[in-house]
Structures are given as structure tokens and as C-alpha cells.
Copies of this chain bind each other. A is one copy, B any other.
Amino acid sequence: MEFIFLGTSSGSPTKQRNVSGLALKSSRRKSWCLVDCGEGTQHQLLHTPLALSRLSAIMITHVHGDHCFGLPGLLASAAMAGRTQPITVVAPAAIKGWLEHSQQMAETHLPFALNFIDVSQLNSPVMIDAFEISTTALSHRVPSFAYGFAEVVKDRALDVDKLKAEQIPAGAHWGQLQNGQDVMLEDGRRLLATDYLLPPRKPRYIIVGGDNDSPQLLSQKASQADVLIHEATYTMDVADRVGSGPQHSCAKQVAEMAEQSGLRHLILTHFSARYAYSQASQPNISAIENEAREAYSGQLFLANDLDHFRLNQLGELSLINQTCD
């Protein structure tokens, strides 16, 4: 599984950070999913290997503009590029009418269908692209959701040690067993495929949160996830000064929940523009990092725009940034 951050700023873009957007894909496929689509998401995509023609689904966490105002332009550009394949859109219901109004106003016609799913009605997991998608209701000024991306593991490895111990020779039989077919050997032995397949590996599972002032809502799911991507708009001192109005998380809150859940990989994003990108300015983004590290002992990342991560089959997370320019 791979994902690329298209925007890591809260509310408004800065010179270094666009507003929210995250591309996520199976390493085996060319198709990909987009979580949130702030203004300028299509611009960011120009700096990645991802093509609009391969976009299979868009998930919107909530209706605030910094998470969805890029939708009309992105869809229009997909149309101009000649796309005809439908796109699945999972989003709050109000997005649907607004998208229709945007197309009507601009007198543009999309030559592909939007298969719209109201996120508030998504009560059980659904297969989209390569993933089983599940949602979690969060706490924000408007209904906001986290999207869980769980891979579906179909392939099971052969138990080669057992085959060798039982002196079953390598060859066509092994391939049949791996494909789940039972086998009759020449010596009369009948082999059941399930006896010679190792248990399926643990499916990888990534949670992408929307805006949320209550990270503990994700505690249970985070305990099962390989990666949690969550907003940390402020440090705690700033969150206290700002007050409860904006309903965002501070780094400490998220880090404490991640620690308690035993989460292996935490990626923070959606930073207030007050935290300078440059270490030479105050306050800068290291204030958020330091606060999170104090409470969290797992692998921590603070996302930057165009950061490209890979989560391998062993559940190891790495940054592979050379693919974006």
C-alpha cells in the first residue's frame, strides 16, 4: 500500500503546504483513491505519478471548503482529459447537490458518471478499488468521518517446510495446492489444499482521519491499524488559547491516544499555518513534533506535501519521496 500527501495545511494554503488531500493505492494496481480534495489538489497531482484517468474513488471526510473545494476543478480536468469511466464518490450528502450545481453553473458536462454514496449511510464496510472501506464518525463542528482502508488478502503462502517433510516433490502439485485445489498424488495420497497453506498474512490497514477534536473515538480501530493519519492542527498551548470553537486536535491528544492504542505508525498532518515550515521562525513545526514525541513511542512522521509513503506486507512504513517532483 502506498499513499502520497497532496496537502498538509489547515484551512488555507501556505507557500509550502496545500489544503487537505491524500492519494492512496495498492502497489499492485494503477488505480488509486483520493481522500479529501481541497482547492489545488489537481495541481498537486501534476507533481506525482498519479493520473486522473486512474482515479477510482474519492472519499470526502467533511464539508469544510479546505477538504472539498477542489472537487469541481478536478472533475472538470478529468473530463477534459477524456475520462469516461465512472468515479465513486463517498461524501456527506450536501456535496452531491453542490457538485451538480457547480457543473450546471459552469455549463460543463462530465462524460463519466459519479456513483455517489452518502457517507452517513455507510454502516458496514464496502469494497471500493482494492480496499474494504469502513468509516468512523468523529467529532467536529460538522459531521466528520475517518476512512479505514483495509486490504483484502487472498493469496496464501505454501507451507513448504511441511511439503518437504512429507516428501511431496516440487512441481505442478505445489501450484495446484497454492491455488486452493486438492491434489491426488500418484502414490495414492490425497492432499487437501487447506492443509498445506499457511494462514493468510495480516491484512494491512490504514486509517485516514478527518477533522476531529476527540482522537479517542479512533482508539479501538487504531489498536488494529498499521498506520493512523490524523490531524494535529495545534500544540496544546495554542489549542488552549484558541478555545474549543474550531474543534481540532492538538498533537498531545493524538499522540496519547496512539500510545495507549499501541499504534505502530502515526502520521500527523493538517497543521495550522502559524507553525512555520522553516526552523528559523517561531513557532515552527518542530513544536508539534516535540509535543507528539513526548507522549508517543512508536514511529512518528509529520507529513509534508508530496511525501510518498509505502507500507510493505510486513507492516513496515517507509518514506520513498523520489517519485514526486
List A residues at the B interface (Cβ < 8 Å). Answer: 11-15, 18-19, 38-40, 42-43, 46-47, 63-66, 68-70, 72-73, 76-77, 80-81, 94-95, 97-98, 101-102, 105-108, 141-142
Contact = CB atoms under 8 A, between A and B. Distances in A.
Contact of A65 (B13, B38, B72): B72
Contacts of A46: 13-15
Given A15-B46, A39-B69, A98-B105, 16 more contacts: A13-B46, A18-B43, A19-B73, A39-B70, A63-B105, A64-B107, A65-B72, A65-B73, A65-B106, A69-B72, A69-B73, A69-B76, A69-B106, A98-B102, A101-B101, A107-B142
Contacts of A18: 43
Contacts of A43: 13, 18, 39-40, 43
A71 to B, nearest CB: 9
A92 to B, nearest CB: 9
A279 to B, nearest CB: 20
Given A46-B14, A77-B12, A102-B69, A63 B107 contact: yes
A63 B95 CA distance: 20
Most-contacted residue by chain B among A14, A63, A102 (CB, 10 A): A102
A63 B101 CA distance: 12
Contacts of A63: 105-107
Contacts of A12: 42, 76-77, 80-81
Contacts of A13: 42-43, 46, 77
Among A12, A18, A63, A142, the most chain B Cβ lie within 10 Å of the Cβ of A12
18 contacts: A11-B77, A12-B42, A12-B76, A13-B77, A15-B46, A38-B73, A39-B42, A63-B105, A64-B106, A65-B73, A65-B102, A66-B73, A69-B69, A69-B73, A97-B105, A98-B105, A101-B101, A107-B142
Contacts of A81: 12
A17 to B, nearest CB: 10
A167 to B, nearest CB: 61
A68 B106 contact: yes
Contacts of A77: 11-13
A98 B19 CA distance: 22
A94 B61 CA distance: 28
A292 to B, nearest CB: 25
A289 B178 CA distance: 63
Contacts of A68: 106
Nearest to A75: B65
A19 to B, nearest CB: 8
Contacts of A40: 39-40, 43
